[in-house]
């Protein structure tokens, strides 16, 4: 039995994607629109969203800054006033490589505001409305960087670990009420965020490949959608190692 109701028929489904201006969020928006969904795209880049929405029917631009609690609440109120929302995807993120030897408190806090508080703003606006309508699916994009501590992920990793934990509890609370919940843990995907990395990124995917794997996971009713498997399964094994083995292995593998 699948964890969630499978999402396979997208025709006419209303999908709100927060963080849809580029990268995985934009690729998912394109993929779902191509399958007949009505896609509402949110991000800060108002002009880019407007151009995307104007290019085809069944597209709607709803600019907002995810760190602005009132803006997120107003956007949700507007969307649900127009009808039920079937899927909410939180894809907004901030990333800057950071190590403790060059600690930047402003960067640490910005990651928290965008990646964690931003997600909570979306959850706070969407969950009561999903419960009230009695159906729907909430999905959060986290990262394999949230599975265990990794070099250069001092700011990013803890925020993604928080989203994984959040999604697990949301699933426990909301699945018995008929809602679907999923967490997406990508490996390396070629986006404007990962372009900041100066190291080789193994098993690098395009945003379009990442979007297809997400759609495949939703179609299976999966809770934990992680990819590419040739990379993420190895990281899964690392999660089981005791610290006395994990820390030396990571240092040898990364040279950091």
Looking at residue 12, its pLDDT comes to 96
- Mean pLDDT for 56-70 is 96
Q: Identify the active-site residue in 156, 171, 243, 246.
A: 156
Position 201 scores a pLDDT of 66
Domain ranges within the chain, ordered by starting residue: 14-254
The answer to whether 144 and 187 have CB atoms below 8 angstroms apart is yes
| Mean pLDDT for the stretch of residues 89-108 | 95
Is residue 85 within 8 Å of 129, Cβ to Cβ?
yes
**Range of lowest pLDDT (17-31, 95-109, 138-152, 198-212):** 198-212
Average pLDDT over residues 175-183: 97
**Does the pLDDT of residue 1 top 60, yes or no?**
no
- The yes-or-no answer on residue 156 being catalytic is yes
Q: Which tens digits make up the pLDDT trace of 119-139? A: 999 999 999 999 999 999 999
Q: What Cα–Cα distance (Å) separates residue 173 from each residue in 123, 168, 169?
A: 13, 9, 6
CB 250 within 8 A of CB 151: yes
Q: Give the number of residues written for the chain.
A: 256
pLDDT above 90 covers what percent of the chain?
A: 79
Its CATH architecture, for the domain 14-254, is 3-Layer(aba) Sandwich (3.40)
pLDDT at 22: 86
Mode of pairing for the β-strands spanning 137-141 and 180-186 = parallel
Cβ atoms 142, 182 nearer than 8 A = no
Handedness of CA 188, 168, 129, 133 (dihedral sign): positive
């Amino acid at each position: 039995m699948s964890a969630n109701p499978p999402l396979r028929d997208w025709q006419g489904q209303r999908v709100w994607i927060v963080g849809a201006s580029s990268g995985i969020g934009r690729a998912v928006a394109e993929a779902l629109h191509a399958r007949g969904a009505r896609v509402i795209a949110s991000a800060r880049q108002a002009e880019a969203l407007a151009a995307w929405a104007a290019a085809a029917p069944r597209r709607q631009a709803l600019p907002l800054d995810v760190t602005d609690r009132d803006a997120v609440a107003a956007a949700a109120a507007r969307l649900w006033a127009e009808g039920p929302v079937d899927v909410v995807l939180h894809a907004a993120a901030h990333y800057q490589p950071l190590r403790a030897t060059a600690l930047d408190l402003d960067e640490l806090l910005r990651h928290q505001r965008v990646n964690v508080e931003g997600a909570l703003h979306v959850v706070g606006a969407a969950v009561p409305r999903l419960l009230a309508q009695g159906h729907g699916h909430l999905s959060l994009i986290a990262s394999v960087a949230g599975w265990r501590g990794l070099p250069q992920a001092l700011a990013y990793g803890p925020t993604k670990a928080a989203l994984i934990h959040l999604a697990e509890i949301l699933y426990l609370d909301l699945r018995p009420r008929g809602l679907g919940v999923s967490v997406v843990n990508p490996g390396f995907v070629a986006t404007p965020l990962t372009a900041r990395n100066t190291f080789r990124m193994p098993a690098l995917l395009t945003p379009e490949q990442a979007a297809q794997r997400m759609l495949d996971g939703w179609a299976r009713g999966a809770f934990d959608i992680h990819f590419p498997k040739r990379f993420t399964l190895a990281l899964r094994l690392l999660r089981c190692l005791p610290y006395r083995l994990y820390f030396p292995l990571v240092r040898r593998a990364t040279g950091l």
